[in-house]
Every structure is written in structure tokens, then in C-alpha cells.
Amino acid sequence: MNRIYLDHHATTPLDPRVLEAMTPWLKEKFGNAASREHAFGREAAQAVEKARAQVAALIGCDESEVVFTSGATESDNLAIKGLADSRRGNRDRLVTVATEHPAVLDSCAAVERRGGISVLRLKVGADGLLDPAELEAAVDDRARLVSVMFANNEIGVIQDIPAIGALCRERGAIFHTDAAQAAGKVPIDVRAMDVHLLSLSSHKIYGPKGVGALYVRKRNPRVKLEPLIDGGGHERGLRSGTLNVPGLVGFGAACELAKAEMKSEAERLKSLRNRLWDGLRKRIDQVTLNGHPERRLPGNLNVSFKFVESESLMVALDGIAVSSGAACTTAKAEPSHVLRALGLPEDLARASVRFGLGRFTTAAEIDIVIERVAAAVKKLRKLSPLYRGP
């Protein structure tokens, strides 16, 4: 039986075109980008700067504002802790959201434990969206940083980033967004959206793992961060360490491909997602959608199958890769903090499955998944003493 991969929020396969761009840098081109005294190093440095420009073009910033990291987790840490350690007058509060990725929530908690800065964690509605009035009340003259995820990694909900950016500009707060899931799937323009800091990860857009970036605005206003890693002064002094040239070449190529194909790919994925959702609803009773029905990533579908434990369902779907939540938290016994923040009772939170469609997903695969899921749910519900079918 062929395997079907529908867990693209966790990671994406490497696009063959990206691998082709990387291959020379994994073989004969091995120079250190910091060794500019000779041709090997200069060649590597040129490749890095090309990648930097490709990343910048995807999000609408100047290439000098792109700081390379190991991925969005490091970028989130650098943005939050780096700004917390910088001087911002009497501003002593970080504002974030209960449904953020652990890289943001844990970084905020670490800053809070050190003392001197408090963290305000905003709630969301049943659809996963922030209440604009609550956000406006939270972003006062004490707010140093506002960190709101662009698109949620579990339920795919897209927040109103332009409105949040405009509010932060008006109130003088720095605005950070984790865009690891949104980049390459929906348009991003950090200038138009008034974003000051933005986190990216290569492996979410069909690039290699272990590579990412943090956009750091240089003017209007210039954002100053304290580095997490010292030694060598690489990346404008914000992230020292020898650069992963093959990885960055791949990251840049992945960004360029995503930008070129974004519109058509979004339309294709939305059509496949709707095909999946319609098929599941027709064949399965008591299945509910988690998150806003429209304001979500085109390839995301998060649903709860009442009377079915998601872990049991995933075992039954052997050969089909789906998820019960974020890849970084699936080892924990607790139900998803995102779904609980929506107000889902524990039984529905434990009955949720995240389908993540991607670039190589086909309609034929979607039809197979619909049939397999429907059969598995029917079988598992027969074992539940609580289920009373239609």
C-alpha cells in the first residue's frame, strides 16, 4: 500500500528543484561564507547573499533586514528575548496569545521568570480569532512587544495581521509575528502590514530542515535586539556562527518557488481541502470543524470526530500521515492547548485530527483518505459504549 502524507504543517518534503540548487554546495562548493580572503569563501558569501535576497523578496523587506537562524524556534527566541533584553524606556509588558506556538509561549514565560517584565496572554474566540477590542485594550503604553502568530500551526486560522500592525504602530509597540506556517502560502508584505519582526522556517516551504530567518526592521523604527549567541559577529552581530551555506541556498530557492507559485497553489489546495471536508461530512456524522471556516490556510483542515480518540484513529489509518496537533507537543499526554483555548471540551480536543495538505497532494489521495477515515471512524465508534449512531 502506498503511503499518503497529510502532515505538511509538521514539515514538508524537500522539493526536487530545491535539492538541485543545493547539490553543488553539498559536493564541490564547500567554502566558508566568512572566509572572504579567497575565491572559495567569496563564492559561498555570494550564494548566501542571493539566498538572503530571495527570502527578502518573499516577505517584502530589504535583504539587509534578513537575519539567518536555524529555524523559526530560534527566530522566535531571538525576537522575544532579544527585545526583552533591550532598553525600551518604561515599557515592561509582552502581549501574546494563548494559541501561540510553544516557541513563543515558552520564550515569553522564560522572560517573565527572570523578572521585570510581565506577560499578558490574550484569549481567542471559538473561531480562533482575537477580539479586536481586547487586543486594543492590551496594547497600551506599557506594551514593549506584541507577538501574534500569522497563521496557527494547528487550526490554520489567519489573524488580522495588518490591523494588529497598525495598532502597534499607533501605540509605539514592536510587533512580532511567527509566520512559519503562513510564508509561501499567503501573501506577506512586512512594510504594508507594519510588522517589525517576523520568523520563518525553511522546512515549512519545501526547503531543508535546520535553516530559518528572522526579519528585523532597520528603520521606522529601527528594532534593536540583544543577541542570544555571541562569537564572531555574524549576521549583523545578532547570530554568530558559521552559516549553513547549502541549507541557505535551499531556503532561498524554496522561497523563490513559493513566491512564484503561491496564487495557483493556494487555489489548488483550497479546492482539495474543500473536497476532503465535504467528503468527510457526507460519510461521517458528528464531525466538527475547528477554527474559522474561511480565514484559514488553504491546506489546513482540523476536525473532531466525536466518540473517537484521535490516537486510535491515527493507528487505524496506518500508511496515512496525519496529526493530532503540533509536532513539537505530540509527545505530551495533555490535549492540544490550542483547541482547549477555543473552548472545546476535553473529549472533542482529544478527538481532533489535523490534515495538512501540500504541494504534492493529489485529488486521488484525498479520495482515498476520505474512504479510509470514514471506515476507521465507523469501526472505532462500534467499540464506544457512548456512541449512538444515526
Residues annotated as catalytic (active site), given as ranges: 328
Q: Which of 237, 229, 225, 230 is nearest to 88 (CA)?
A: 225
Amino acid at 261: E
Amino acid at 110: A
Q: How far apart are CA 106 and CA 112, in angstroms?
A: 10
Alpha carbon of residue 319 to chain centroid = 25
Q: Which residues contact residue 53 at a Cβ distance below 8 angstroms, ignoring those fewer than 6 apart?
A: 63, 252
The 3-state secondary structure of 321-358 reads: ECECCCCCCCCCCCCCHHHHHCCCCHHHHCCEEEEECC
Q: How far apart are CA 271 and CA 290, in angstroms?
A: 18
- Cell (9 digits) for 85: 533584553
Angstrom distances, CA of residue 94 to CA of 117, 139, 143, 177? 7, 9, 6, 13
